[in-house]
Structure 1
Amino acid sequence: MKMEDVYSKLPILETDRLSLRKISLDDLYDMHTYCSNEEVARYCTWTKHESLEDTEEFIRLILNKYELDQYALWGIEEKETGTLIGTIDFVSWQPKQQIAEIGYAISQVYWGRGIVTEASTAVIAYGFEEMDLVRIQAKCLIENVGSARVMEKVGMSYEGLIRKGLLVKDTHRDLKMYSILREEFEQII
Protein backbone atom coordinates (compact mmCIF):
# COMPACT_ATOMS: atom_id res chain seq x y z
CA MET A 1 0.00 0.00 0.00
CA LYS A 2 1.28 3.48 -0.86
CA MET A 3 1.93 5.97 1.90
CA GLU A 4 -0.74 8.38 0.65
CA ASP A 5 -3.30 5.56 0.55
CA VAL A 6 -2.73 4.67 4.21
CA TYR A 7 -3.27 8.27 5.24
CA SER A 8 -6.17 9.14 2.92
CA LYS A 9 -8.00 5.82 3.33
CA LEU A 10 -7.36 5.26 7.02
CA PRO A 11 -9.87 2.50 7.71
CA ILE A 12 -12.04 1.91 10.73
CA LEU A 13 -10.60 -1.09 12.60
CA GLU A 14 -13.03 -3.10 14.73
CA THR A 15 -12.22 -5.32 17.69
CA ASP A 16 -14.53 -6.98 20.20
CA ARG A 17 -14.79 -3.90 22.42
CA LEU A 18 -13.35 -1.11 20.29
CA SER A 19 -13.79 0.89 17.14
CA LEU A 20 -10.55 2.51 15.93
CA ARG A 21 -11.50 5.48 13.77
CA LYS A 22 -10.54 9.00 12.75
CA ILE A 23 -10.82 11.78 15.33
CA SER A 24 -13.42 14.53 14.89
CA LEU A 25 -14.39 17.73 16.70
CA ASP A 26 -17.24 15.73 18.26
CA ASP A 27 -14.53 14.08 20.38
CA LEU A 28 -13.59 17.35 22.11
CA TYR A 29 -15.00 16.62 25.58
CA ASP A 30 -13.99 12.95 25.64
CA MET A 31 -10.45 13.77 24.55
CA HIS A 32 -10.16 16.62 27.02
CA THR A 33 -11.15 14.25 29.83
CA TYR A 34 -7.98 12.19 29.44
CA CYS A 35 -5.64 14.81 27.94
CA SER A 36 -6.20 17.05 30.97
CA ASN A 37 -5.19 14.26 33.35
CA GLU A 38 -1.69 14.77 34.76
CA GLU A 39 -1.12 11.01 35.15
CA VAL A 40 -1.87 10.36 31.46
CA ALA A 41 0.33 13.26 30.30
CA ARG A 42 3.13 12.09 32.59
CA TYR A 43 4.02 9.28 30.17
CA CYS A 44 3.48 11.29 26.96
CA THR A 45 5.56 13.82 25.06
CA TRP A 46 2.81 16.43 25.38
CA THR A 47 1.84 18.40 28.47
CA LYS A 48 -1.61 18.05 29.99
CA HIS A 49 -4.32 20.14 28.38
CA GLU A 50 -5.23 23.04 30.64
CA SER A 51 -8.39 24.04 28.77
CA LEU A 52 -10.91 22.86 26.19
CA GLU A 53 -9.20 25.29 23.82
CA ASP A 54 -5.95 23.29 24.17
CA THR A 55 -7.80 20.13 23.20
CA GLU A 56 -9.63 21.81 20.34
CA GLU A 57 -6.32 23.12 18.99
CA PHE A 58 -4.89 19.59 19.17
CA ILE A 59 -7.90 18.12 17.34
CA ARG A 60 -7.67 20.80 14.64
CA LEU A 61 -3.98 19.91 14.19
CA ILE A 62 -4.97 16.26 13.72
CA LEU A 63 -7.75 17.19 11.26
CA ASN A 64 -5.32 19.34 9.27
CA LYS A 65 -2.87 16.44 9.05
CA TYR A 66 -5.70 14.16 7.89
CA GLU A 67 -6.54 16.70 5.16
CA LEU A 68 -2.90 16.77 4.04
CA ASP A 69 -2.73 12.95 4.09
CA GLN A 70 0.04 13.08 6.69
CA TYR A 71 -1.34 11.19 9.65
CA ALA A 72 -2.38 7.65 10.52
CA LEU A 73 -3.96 8.29 13.92
CA TRP A 74 -6.95 6.38 15.18
CA GLY A 75 -9.21 7.40 18.02
CA ILE A 76 -9.94 4.51 20.36
CA GLU A 77 -13.70 4.43 20.87
CA GLU A 78 -15.35 2.11 23.36
CA LYS A 79 -18.18 0.49 21.41
CA GLU A 80 -20.46 -0.01 24.41
CA THR A 81 -20.58 3.68 25.31
CA GLY A 82 -19.44 5.43 22.10
CA THR A 83 -16.84 7.26 24.21
CA LEU A 84 -13.43 8.23 22.84
CA ILE A 85 -11.00 6.86 25.43
CA GLY A 86 -7.62 7.29 23.73
CA THR A 87 -5.58 7.39 20.56
CA ILE A 88 -3.22 5.02 18.80
CA ASP A 89 -1.07 5.67 15.74
CA PHE A 90 2.07 5.05 13.79
CA VAL A 91 4.18 7.84 15.26
CA SER A 92 6.77 7.19 12.58
CA TRP A 93 6.79 5.21 9.36
CA GLN A 94 9.62 4.46 6.95
CA PRO A 95 7.84 2.91 3.91
CA LYS A 96 11.05 2.12 2.01
CA GLN A 97 12.47 0.34 5.07
CA GLN A 98 9.07 -1.26 5.83
CA ILE A 99 9.34 -0.18 9.47
CA ALA A 100 6.91 1.74 11.64
CA GLU A 101 6.65 2.73 15.28
CA ILE A 102 3.42 2.53 17.22
CA GLY A 103 2.38 4.89 20.00
CA TYR A 104 -0.73 5.30 22.14
CA ALA A 105 -2.37 7.19 24.99
CA ILE A 106 -5.43 6.13 26.94
CA SER A 107 -7.66 7.50 29.66
CA GLN A 108 -6.47 6.51 33.13
CA VAL A 109 -9.94 5.10 33.87
CA TYR A 110 -9.20 2.37 31.30
CA TRP A 111 -5.70 1.43 32.44
CA GLY A 112 -5.24 -2.25 33.24
CA ARG A 113 -8.27 -3.45 31.24
CA GLY A 114 -6.44 -4.78 28.16
CA ILE A 115 -7.80 -1.98 25.97
CA VAL A 116 -4.42 -0.85 24.60
CA THR A 117 -3.38 -4.46 24.03
CA GLU A 118 -6.56 -5.01 22.01
CA ALA A 119 -6.10 -1.79 20.01
CA SER A 120 -2.38 -2.42 19.46
CA THR A 121 -3.02 -5.94 18.16
CA ALA A 122 -5.45 -4.55 15.57
CA VAL A 123 -3.06 -1.80 14.46
CA ILE A 124 -0.10 -4.19 14.30
CA ALA A 125 -2.15 -6.62 12.18
CA TYR A 126 -3.10 -3.74 9.87
CA GLY A 127 0.56 -2.71 9.59
CA PHE A 128 1.74 -6.17 8.62
CA GLU A 129 -1.22 -7.13 6.44
CA GLU A 130 -2.03 -3.86 4.67
CA MET A 131 1.12 -1.71 4.86
CA ASP A 132 3.59 -4.50 4.06
CA LEU A 133 5.66 -3.78 7.17
CA VAL A 134 8.37 -6.20 8.26
CA ARG A 135 9.03 -4.60 11.67
CA ILE A 136 6.90 -2.64 14.11
CA GLN A 137 8.56 -1.11 17.12
CA ALA A 138 7.51 0.85 20.18
CA LYS A 139 9.28 2.81 22.88
CA CYS A 140 8.25 3.88 26.34
CA LEU A 141 9.75 5.82 29.22
CA ILE A 142 11.51 3.38 31.54
CA GLU A 143 9.11 4.09 34.40
CA ASN A 144 6.03 3.39 32.26
CA VAL A 145 5.54 -0.19 33.43
CA GLY A 146 2.02 -0.43 31.99
CA SER A 147 3.14 0.46 28.48
CA ALA A 148 6.05 -2.00 28.63
CA ARG A 149 3.59 -4.69 29.70
CA VAL A 150 1.34 -3.92 26.70
CA MET A 151 4.30 -4.34 24.36
CA GLU A 152 5.11 -7.71 25.89
CA LYS A 153 1.46 -8.86 25.71
CA VAL A 154 1.27 -8.13 21.95
CA GLY A 155 4.36 -10.29 21.39
CA MET A 156 7.04 -7.63 21.17
CA SER A 157 10.56 -8.42 22.30
CA TYR A 158 12.56 -6.11 24.54
CA GLU A 159 15.60 -4.90 22.62
CA GLY A 160 17.27 -2.67 25.14
CA LEU A 161 17.61 0.72 26.73
CA ILE A 162 17.99 3.89 24.69
CA ARG A 163 19.83 6.22 27.02
CA LYS A 164 18.56 9.80 26.90
CA GLY A 165 16.73 8.80 23.72
CA LEU A 166 14.01 11.44 23.79
CA LEU A 167 13.70 15.03 24.90
CA VAL A 168 10.44 15.16 26.86
CA LYS A 169 9.29 18.34 28.60
CA ASP A 170 12.82 19.81 28.59
CA THR A 171 14.50 16.67 29.96
CA HIS A 172 16.31 13.92 28.07
CA ARG A 173 14.71 10.64 29.09
CA ASP A 174 15.76 7.00 28.92
CA LEU A 175 13.52 4.71 26.86
CA LYS A 176 12.85 1.01 26.57
CA MET A 177 12.75 -0.30 22.98
CA TYR A 178 10.52 -3.18 21.89
CA SER A 179 9.76 -4.68 18.48
CA ILE A 180 7.93 -7.43 16.66
CA LEU A 181 8.66 -8.83 13.21
CA ARG A 182 6.01 -9.92 10.72
CA GLU A 183 6.96 -13.61 10.98
CA GLU A 184 6.76 -13.45 14.78
CA PHE A 185 3.30 -11.86 14.65
CA GLU A 186 2.08 -14.48 12.17
CA GLN A 187 3.01 -17.21 14.65
CA ILE A 188 0.95 -15.73 17.48
CA ILE A 189 -2.26 -14.81 15.66
Structure 2
Amino acid sequence: MNITREFPVIETERLVLRRITEADAGSVLSYLSDEDVMRYYGLSPFQTIDDALAEIDWYDKIFSEETGIRWGITIKGQDEVIGSCGFHRMVSQHHRSEIGFELSKTYWGQGFASEAVSTILNYGFEHLHLNRIEALIEPANLSSQKLVIKHGFLKEGLLRSYEYTRGKFDDLFMYSLLKRDFIIL
Protein backbone atom coordinates (compact mmCIF):
# COMPACT_ATOMS: atom_id res chain seq x y z
CA MET A 1 0.00 0.00 0.00
CA ASN A 2 3.07 2.17 0.30
CA ILE A 3 2.37 4.63 3.07
CA THR A 4 5.11 7.20 2.70
CA ARG A 5 7.60 7.23 5.58
CA GLU A 6 7.13 10.98 5.97
CA PHE A 7 3.69 11.92 7.18
CA PRO A 8 1.85 13.69 4.35
CA VAL A 9 0.35 17.11 5.01
CA ILE A 10 -2.65 17.86 2.78
CA GLU A 11 -4.21 21.27 2.18
CA THR A 12 -7.74 21.85 0.93
CA GLU A 13 -9.57 25.08 0.28
CA ARG A 14 -10.25 25.65 3.99
CA LEU A 15 -8.34 22.94 5.84
CA VAL A 16 -4.91 21.57 6.62
CA LEU A 17 -4.80 17.83 7.33
CA ARG A 18 -1.68 17.01 9.35
CA ARG A 19 -0.16 14.58 11.80
CA ILE A 20 -1.61 14.67 15.31
CA THR A 21 1.08 14.92 17.99
CA GLU A 22 1.17 14.79 21.78
CA ALA A 23 0.96 18.60 21.75
CA ASP A 24 -2.59 18.19 20.38
CA ALA A 25 -3.76 16.01 23.28
CA GLY A 26 -5.78 18.85 24.86
CA SER A 27 -7.68 19.49 21.64
CA VAL A 28 -8.28 15.78 21.08
CA LEU A 29 -9.56 15.42 24.65
CA SER A 30 -11.84 18.41 24.14
CA TYR A 31 -13.86 16.89 21.30
CA LEU A 32 -13.50 13.19 22.21
CA SER A 33 -14.87 13.88 25.71
CA ASP A 34 -18.15 15.11 24.15
CA GLU A 35 -20.93 12.51 24.42
CA ASP A 36 -22.47 13.68 21.13
CA VAL A 37 -19.19 13.25 19.23
CA MET A 38 -18.57 9.83 20.81
CA ARG A 39 -22.10 8.47 20.40
CA TYR A 40 -21.10 6.35 17.39
CA TYR A 41 -17.33 6.25 17.89
CA GLY A 42 -17.24 2.86 19.58
CA LEU A 43 -15.59 4.16 22.76
CA SER A 44 -16.83 5.90 25.86
CA PRO A 45 -16.22 9.64 26.03
CA PHE A 46 -12.64 10.36 27.05
CA GLN A 47 -12.10 11.42 30.65
CA THR A 48 -8.41 12.27 30.93
CA ILE A 49 -5.47 13.55 28.94
CA ASP A 50 -4.10 10.00 29.12
CA ASP A 51 -7.11 8.82 27.09
CA ALA A 52 -6.22 11.35 24.39
CA LEU A 53 -2.55 10.40 24.50
CA ALA A 54 -3.47 6.71 24.08
CA GLU A 55 -5.54 7.61 21.00
CA ILE A 56 -2.61 9.59 19.55
CA ASP A 57 -0.33 6.61 20.26
CA TRP A 58 -2.74 4.43 18.25
CA TYR A 59 -2.57 6.91 15.35
CA ASP A 60 1.25 6.68 15.47
CA LYS A 61 1.15 2.87 15.69
CA ILE A 62 -1.08 2.32 12.66
CA PHE A 63 1.11 4.70 10.65
CA SER A 64 4.38 3.03 11.66
CA GLU A 65 2.92 -0.44 11.06
CA GLU A 66 1.50 0.70 7.69
CA THR A 67 -2.00 -0.46 8.62
CA GLY A 68 -3.50 3.01 8.53
CA ILE A 69 -3.07 6.75 8.63
CA ARG A 70 -5.01 9.34 10.63
CA TRP A 71 -4.85 13.06 9.94
CA GLY A 72 -5.75 15.85 12.32
CA ILE A 73 -8.22 18.29 10.78
CA THR A 74 -7.28 21.95 11.27
CA ILE A 75 -8.69 25.12 9.78
CA LYS A 76 -6.18 27.05 7.66
CA GLY A 77 -4.52 29.75 9.72
CA GLN A 78 -5.40 27.98 12.96
CA ASP A 79 -3.38 25.07 14.30
CA GLU A 80 -5.98 23.59 16.66
CA VAL A 81 -7.07 20.05 15.80
CA ILE A 82 -10.88 20.05 15.45
CA GLY A 83 -11.29 16.42 14.42
CA SER A 84 -9.59 13.62 12.59
CA CYS A 85 -10.00 11.44 9.53
CA GLY A 86 -8.15 8.64 7.92
CA PHE A 87 -7.81 4.97 7.16
CA HIS A 88 -7.42 1.94 9.41
CA ARG A 89 -7.48 -1.83 8.96
CA MET A 90 -5.64 -1.47 5.67
CA VAL A 91 -5.07 -4.78 3.92
CA SER A 92 -2.39 -4.20 1.27
CA GLN A 93 -2.84 -7.63 -0.31
CA HIS A 94 -6.44 -6.76 -1.15
CA HIS A 95 -5.98 -2.99 -1.69
CA ARG A 96 -8.71 -2.12 0.79
CA SER A 97 -9.17 -0.12 3.96
CA GLU A 98 -11.80 1.30 6.29
CA ILE A 99 -12.34 5.03 6.55
CA GLY A 100 -13.05 6.84 9.80
CA PHE A 101 -13.75 10.44 10.72
CA GLU A 102 -15.06 12.63 13.52
CA LEU A 103 -15.36 16.34 14.10
CA SER A 104 -15.82 18.61 17.09
CA LYS A 105 -19.51 19.46 17.51
CA THR A 106 -18.65 23.16 17.25
CA TYR A 107 -17.87 22.61 13.56
CA TRP A 108 -20.76 20.33 12.55
CA GLY A 109 -22.89 21.39 9.59
CA GLN A 110 -20.24 23.59 7.96
CA GLY A 111 -18.97 21.12 5.34
CA PHE A 112 -15.59 20.53 7.01
CA ALA A 113 -16.06 16.75 7.35
CA SER A 114 -17.14 16.46 3.73
CA GLU A 115 -14.15 18.50 2.55
CA ALA A 116 -11.74 16.36 4.58
CA VAL A 117 -13.31 13.06 3.51
CA SER A 118 -13.26 14.00 -0.18
CA THR A 119 -9.57 14.82 0.10
CA ILE A 120 -8.54 11.64 1.87
CA LEU A 121 -10.60 9.48 -0.49
CA ASN A 122 -8.60 10.92 -3.34
CA TYR A 123 -5.38 10.34 -1.38
CA GLY A 124 -6.36 6.74 -0.64
CA PHE A 125 -7.08 5.88 -4.26
CA GLU A 126 -4.19 7.82 -5.80
CA HIS A 127 -1.35 7.49 -3.26
CA LEU A 128 -2.19 4.40 -1.21
CA HIS A 129 -3.39 2.53 -4.32
CA LEU A 130 -6.58 1.41 -2.63
CA ASN A 131 -9.27 -0.17 -4.77
CA ARG A 132 -11.97 -0.42 -2.09
CA ILE A 133 -12.70 1.85 0.85
CA GLU A 134 -15.23 0.69 3.41
CA ALA A 135 -17.27 2.63 5.95
CA LEU A 136 -18.88 0.80 8.87
CA ILE A 137 -21.65 2.96 10.32
CA GLU A 138 -24.24 2.39 13.03
CA PRO A 139 -27.81 2.51 11.62
CA ALA A 140 -28.73 5.46 13.89
CA ASN A 141 -25.79 7.54 12.63
CA LEU A 142 -27.68 9.27 9.83
CA SER A 143 -25.20 12.13 9.41
CA SER A 144 -22.29 9.81 8.61
CA GLN A 145 -24.47 7.76 6.27
CA LYS A 146 -25.48 10.91 4.37
CA LEU A 147 -21.83 11.97 4.16
CA VAL A 148 -20.55 8.72 2.67
CA ILE A 149 -23.51 8.45 0.27
CA LYS A 150 -22.75 11.99 -0.92
CA HIS A 151 -19.26 10.77 -1.80
CA GLY A 152 -20.51 7.78 -3.80
CA PHE A 153 -20.47 4.98 -1.24
CA LEU A 154 -23.05 2.22 -1.71
CA LYS A 155 -24.74 0.39 1.15
CA GLU A 156 -23.92 -3.30 0.88
CA GLY A 157 -25.76 -4.65 3.90
CA LEU A 158 -26.15 -4.94 7.63
CA LEU A 159 -23.51 -6.60 9.81
CA ARG A 160 -25.56 -7.86 12.75
CA SER A 161 -24.01 -7.52 16.24
CA TYR A 162 -20.71 -6.77 14.53
CA GLU A 163 -19.03 -4.90 17.39
CA TYR A 164 -19.27 -4.99 21.14
CA THR A 165 -18.87 -1.44 22.39
CA ARG A 166 -19.89 0.42 25.50
CA GLY A 167 -21.52 -2.67 27.00
CA LYS A 168 -23.68 -3.68 24.03
CA PHE A 169 -23.53 -5.34 20.64
CA ASP A 170 -23.88 -2.91 17.73
CA ASP A 171 -25.17 -3.56 14.24
CA LEU A 172 -23.23 -1.76 11.52
CA PHE A 173 -24.10 -0.93 7.94
CA MET A 174 -21.34 -1.79 5.48
CA TYR A 175 -20.80 0.89 2.85
CA SER A 176 -18.12 0.74 0.18
CA LEU A 177 -16.62 2.89 -2.53
CA LEU A 178 -14.58 1.42 -5.36
CA LYS A 179 -11.87 3.35 -7.16
CA ARG A 180 -13.67 2.94 -10.49
CA ASP A 181 -16.76 4.65 -9.02
CA PHE A 182 -14.95 7.51 -7.29
CA ILE A 183 -15.73 11.01 -8.49
CA ILE A 184 -14.02 13.99 -6.87
CA LEU A 185 -16.74 16.40 -5.71
TM-score, normalisation: structure 2: 0.90
Name stretches of at least 5 consecutive residues in structure 1 with no aligned partner: none
What is the match of residue 110 of structure 1? 107
CA distance in 2, matches of 1:64, 1:95: 16
Question: Is the helix fraction higher in 1 or 2?
Answer: 1
Please state how far the C-alpha of 1:68 moved relative to its aligned partner: 5.2
User: Does structure 1 retain, via aligned residues, the 8 Å contact 2:122–2:184?
Assistant: no
Note closer, same or farther for the CA distance 1:136–1:70 as it changes in structure 2 (3 Å cut): closer
Residue number among 104, 126, 136 corresponding to 2:133 in the alignment: 136
1:156 to 139, 144, 153: 153
Identity fraction in percent: 32
Q: How does 1:1-150 map to 2 (within 5 A)?
A: 1-2=1-2, 6=3, 8-67=5-64, 71-150=68-147
Q: Deviations over 1:83-116 (max 9, x none)?
A: 2011112121111111111011111111222211
Separation in 1, partners of 2:173, 2:4 = 28
Instruction: Please report how far the alpha carbon of residue 61 of structure 1 lies from its aligned counterpart in structure 2 after TM superposition.
Output: 4.1
| Structure 2: gaps of 5 or more residues | none
Query: Normalising by structure 1, what TM-score?
Result: 0.89
Cα deviation digits, residues 123-163 of structure 1 (max 9, x gap): 11011111211111111111011110110111111222211
Paired residue for 1:173, among 151, 154, 170? 170
SS at match of 2:47: coil
Separation in structure 2 between the aligned mates of residue 117 and residue 177 of structure 1, nearest angstrom: 19
Please state whether the residue corresponding to 2:173 is helix, strand or coil: strand
Number of equivalenced pairs? 185
Q: Distance in 2 between matches of 1:133 and 1:61?
A: 21
Preserved contact between residue 96 and residue 131 of structure 2 (Cα < 8 Å): yes
Q: Give, as a single letter, the amino acid of the residue that structure 1 aligns with 2:140.
A: E
How far did 1:16 drift? 0.8
In 1, Cα distance between equivalents of 2:107 and 2:164: 27
1:90–1:101 Cα contact (<8 Å) kept = yes
Compared CA separation, residues 53 and 188, structure 1 to 2 (3 A): closer
**Alpha carbons of structure 1 residues 7 and 37: separation in structure 2 relative to 1, 3 Å:** farther
